[in-house]
């Protein structure tokens, strides 16, 4: 009997260890093992949640579902201050005293679906460093690392992923002659460089992502220093992009344009960068910002931009949310724009706009096609009620381990 009991117990422990729960977004969890692929187990106390739940950690690349459209038809995830990583060790020998904006390496950010990086570059220690500034200067207590280290991560990702496109936005404080050009050459990134001569002006469409990949023009680089366009061939950001005000003005209110940018409803540029992060980052508040505030401000900025969706969404702590967060917002924007569905997951390649797959929740929009071929709903609505299937799945998932343990008790009891 003891041997039989031991065998039954071992079998149930094996089930617990080898069969993951595969809980879905929003389902209760006790560890990452409970959650399905592309999810982690976390909590958003800022929204009043008392228990951990499964949270998205991976983006759906829109080009994997709707292929071959101009680059400016898609919406991409951007990390604000991508280099400013919690726990990044000091490279200057001095304890760092500054703000942080992200939680994992640039390599992991890219692997999780980030396709835009915001990098602040400074002359420092006879090199170019990624740094937060204090009155426009980099100091040993605000510096992170030499910029080439991060750019080599970008090069490695582009090399390993030959169909992916990355955009870098440089907040540029580099004054050394040809400093940025030398930096990108040293990082072996020029082979991916998108040349200024082929960048569209006057609001015209960009080439298709297919053409960009075929030419290996898979790295777009923009600088905040207008002089670098003539001297080094690096695109001046606001000649090609519209952008709302960053910091606190970009997370509440009417979505004003950044002072360097043309008005958001201008048609002078075909790319729109939406900043959504507070002036002072608070790690534990980011989940609420990305889940509650971001969808609301996308709606506001969409209206302020004359019914234009953001091509880039820049956030702090991009994986923190109450469930879907910025990944869900990105999916919904791409779904509305590319196929007239409420999520990119419902799009079906080669079918008319509004032909949406059943994803378990209402997903069809009252969409129309504008003059440029983009599909818009006229108004963006990001709230979808949970379907009966998802509620059932949540109940099953949260009780899965309990059911196994109950089974163990029932089997042991006859002995």
DSSP state of 8: H
Asked if residue 171 has pLDDT above 90, the reply is yes
pLDDT value, residue 94: 96
Q: How far apart are CA 373 and CA 265, in angstroms?
A: 18
pLDDT bucket at 5, cuts 50 / 70 / 90 = low
Q: Taking a C-beta distance cutoff of 8 angstroms, is the pair 261, 239 a contact?
A: no
pLDDT bucket at 350, cuts 50 / 70 / 90 = confident
pLDDT value, residue 398: 45
CA dihedral 308, 309, 311, 312 (to 10 degrees): 120
β-bridge partners, 169: 118, 222
pLDDT value, residue 135: 77
pLDDT bucket at 4, cuts 50 / 70 / 90 = low
Which has the minimum average pLDDT: 306-310, 333-337, 400-404?
400-404
Q: For the segment 96-147, what is each residue's pLDDT rounded down to a tens digit?
A: 999 999 999 999 999 999 999 999 999 999 999 999 987 789 999 999 999 9
Q: Is 53 or 412 the better-scoring residue by pLDDT?
A: 53
Highest mean pLDDT out of 233-237, 355-359, 391-395: 233-237
Asked if residue 178 has pLDDT above 60, the reply is yes
* Nearest residue to 231 (alpha-carbon basis) of 171, 169, 174: 174
pLDDT value, residue 374: 34
* Nearest residue to 344 (alpha-carbon basis) of 113, 162, 157: 113
Domain ranges in the chain are 2-37+390-412, 56-384
Asked if residue 192 has pLDDT above 60, the reply is yes
Q: What is the dihedral sign for C-alpha 199, 205, 211, 212?
A: positive
Asked if residue 370 has pLDDT above 90, the reply is no
Q: Which residue has tokens 């990944």?
A: 327
Asked if residue 186 has pLDDT above 80, the reply is yes
Q: Taking a C-beta distance cutoff of 8 angstroms, is the pair 187, 239 a contact?
A: no
Q: Taking a C-beta distance cutoff of 8 angstroms, is the pair 102, 67 a contact?
A: no
pLDDT value, residue 3: 59
The tokens describing 218, both together, are: 């898979």
* Model pTM score: 0.86
Asked if residue 396 has pLDDT above 50, the reply is no
Q: Taking a C-beta distance cutoff of 8 angstroms, is the pair 273, 310 a contact?
A: yes
Q: Taking a C-beta distance cutoff of 8 angstroms, is the pair 329, 318 a contact?
A: no
**How many percent of the chain have pLDDT more than 90?**
78
Core vs surface per residue 379-401: b (16+ CB within 10 A) or e: ebebebeeeeebeebbeebbebb
**How many percent of the chain have pLDDT more than 70?**
81
* Nearest residue to 331 (alpha-carbon basis) of 77, 27, 55: 77
pLDDT value, residue 6: 56
Q: How far apart are CA 215 and CA 197, in angstroms?
A: 14
Asked if residue 237 has pLDDT above 80, the reply is yes
Q: How far apart are CA 55 and CA 43, in angstroms?
A: 8
Q: Is 352 or 17 the better-scoring residue by pLDDT?
A: 352
Helical residues (DSSP H) of 265-387, grouped into ranges: 286-288, 294-304, 325-339
Which has the minimum average pLDDT: 89-98, 204-213, 282-291, 361-370?
361-370
Asked if residue 177 has pLDDT above 50, the reply is yes
Q: Taking a C-beta distance cutoff of 8 angstroms, is the pair 216, 270 a contact?
A: no
Q: How far apart are CA 206 and CA 203, in angstroms?
A: 9
Helical residues (DSSP H) of 139-195, grouped into ranges: 147-160, 179-186
Q: Taking a C-beta distance cutoff of 8 angstroms, is the pair 302, 327 a contact?
A: no
pLDDT value, residue 321: 97
Q: How far apart are CA 95 and CA 140, in angstroms?
A: 8
Asked if residue 403 has pLDDT above 50, the reply is no
Q: How far apart are CA 169 and CA 25, in angstroms?
A: 31
Asked if residue 153 has pLDDT above 60, the reply is yes
Superfamily of domain 56-384: Phosphatidylinositol (PI) phosphodiesterase (3.20.20.190)
């Amino acid at each position: 009997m003891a041997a039989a009991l031991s065998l039954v117990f071992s079998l149930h422990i094996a089930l617990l260890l080898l069969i993951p729960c595969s809980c879905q977004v929003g389902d209760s969890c006790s560890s990452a093992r409970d959650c399905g692929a592309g999810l982690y187990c976390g909590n958003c106390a800022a929204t009043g949640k008392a228990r951990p739940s499964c949270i998205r950690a991976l983006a759906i690349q829109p080009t994997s579902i709707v292929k071959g459209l101009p680059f400016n038809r898609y919406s991409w995830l951007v990390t604000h201050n991508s280099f400013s990583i919690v726990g990044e060790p000091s490279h200057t020998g001095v304890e760092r005293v500054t703000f942080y904006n992200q939680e994992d390496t640039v390599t992991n950010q890219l692997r999780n679906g980030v396709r835009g990086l915001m990098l602040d570059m400074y002359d420092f220690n006879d090199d170019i460093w990624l740094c937060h500034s204090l009155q426009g200067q980099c100091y040993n207590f605000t510096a992170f690392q030499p910029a080439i280290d991060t750019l080599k991560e970008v090069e490695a990702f582009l090399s390993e992923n030959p169909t992916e496109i990355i955009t870098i936005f440089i907040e540029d404080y580099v004054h050394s002659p040809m400093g940025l050009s030398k930096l990108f050459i040293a990082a072996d990134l020029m082979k991916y460089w998108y040349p200024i001569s082929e960048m569209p002006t006057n609001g015209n469409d960009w080439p298709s992502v297919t053409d960009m990949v075929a030419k290996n023009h898979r790295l777009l680089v923009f600088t905040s220093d207008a002089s670098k366009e003539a001297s080094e061939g690096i695109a001046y950001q606001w000649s090609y992009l519209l952008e709302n005000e960053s910091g606190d003005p970009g997370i509440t209110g009417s979505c004003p344009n950044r002072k360097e940018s043309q008005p958001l409803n201008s048609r002078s540029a075909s790319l729109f960068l939406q900043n959504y992060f507070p002036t002072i980052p608070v790690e534990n508040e980011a989940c609420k910002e990305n889940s509650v505030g971001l969808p609301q401000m996308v709606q506001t900025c969409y209206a302020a931009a004359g019914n234009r969706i953001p091509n880039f969404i820049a956030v702090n702590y991009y994986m923190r949310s109450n469930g879907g967060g910025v990944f869900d917002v990105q999916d919904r924007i791409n779904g509305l724009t590319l196929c007239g569905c409420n999520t990119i997951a419902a799009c079906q390649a080669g079918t008319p706009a509004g032909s949406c797959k059943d994803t378990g929740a209402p997903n069809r929009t009252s969409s129309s096609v504008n003059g440029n071929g983009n599909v818009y709903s006229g108004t963006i609505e990001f709230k979808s009620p949970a379907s009966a299937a998802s509620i059932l799945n949540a109940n099953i998932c949260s009780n899965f381990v309990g059911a196994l343990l109950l089974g163990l008790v029932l089997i042991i009891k006859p002995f």
